[in-house]
Amino acid sequence: MSSEINPPANDQTSAPDEAFLHECLYFTTNRLSRAISRIADDAFATTGLAPAYGYLIRLVIGKPGITQKELSEKLYITPSTLTRFIDKLEGKRLVERQVQGKTVLVYPTDKAFELEQPIRQASKKLKETYEAILGKEAAALLTASVENAGVQLE
């Protein structure tokens, strides 16, 4: 048992070195992602939808007949994931597919329009919740940095 590389003196009582976790963007981002997802789930509970579906529906309402390709690009999820999402929303009669050659156009149903306001409400509540904790200013800054990093790393 050689000890060539001796990490900072580790007296049994203190925690071992965990800096490598907190200095790692992969780790901290996933942690934040889980935390904010919990908050988002709560905020969207009233809509009966997971937050991701709420955003999808907003896009479909914003552009009825939008293709799945466009949706997957805007949401930054893969086409296969999008297929499953649309399957689910179709099952709930919230959207309809219209096959057009090799592409699929997605349309909102009346039921989707009924959900529009509740979804907006939930989005607002979500934002208010994290702004209350982080501060409005800080939240905006963080969101911009995270957005920017996402763009660059993609």
Query: In the complex, which residues of this chain contact DNA (CB under 7 A)?
Result: 30, 34, 38, 50, 52-53, 67-69, 72, 76-88, 97, 101-104
**Which stretch in 36-44, 83-91, 98-106 sits in contact with its own copies by CB under 8 A?**
36-44
Q: Is 27 in the site for its own copies (CB under 8 A)?
A: yes
State the number of binding residues for its own copies (CB under 8 A): 56
Q: Which two tokens stand for residue 118?
A: 């509740």
Q: Which is nearer to DNA, 7 or 91 (CB)?
A: 91
Strand partners for 104: 99
Q: Is 139 in the site for its own copies (CB under 8 A)?
A: yes
Q: Is 73 in the site for its own copies (CB under 8 A)?
A: no
Which partner in its own copies, DNA, none is near 98 (CB below 5 to 8 A by kind)? none
Distance between CA 112 and CA 22 in Å, rounded? 41
Distance between CA 151 and CA 145 in Å, rounded? 10
The count of other CB atoms within 10 Å of the CB of residue 14 is 9
> In Å, how far are 4, 5, 8, 10 from 1, measured between CA atoms?
9, 12, 17, 16
Residue ranges of alpha helices (H) inside the chain are 19-22, 25-44, 51-62, 68-75, 79-91, 110-134, 136-153
Q: Is 9 in the site for its own copies (CB under 8 A)?
A: no
Terminal C-alpha separation, the chain:
42
Which partner in its own copies, DNA, none is near 67 (CB below 5 to 8 A by kind)? DNA
> In the complex, which residues of this chain contact its own copies (CB under 8 A)?
7, 10, 15-18, 20-37, 39-40, 51-52, 55, 58-59, 62-63, 74-77, 123, 126-127, 130, 133-134, 139-143, 145-147, 149-150, 152-154
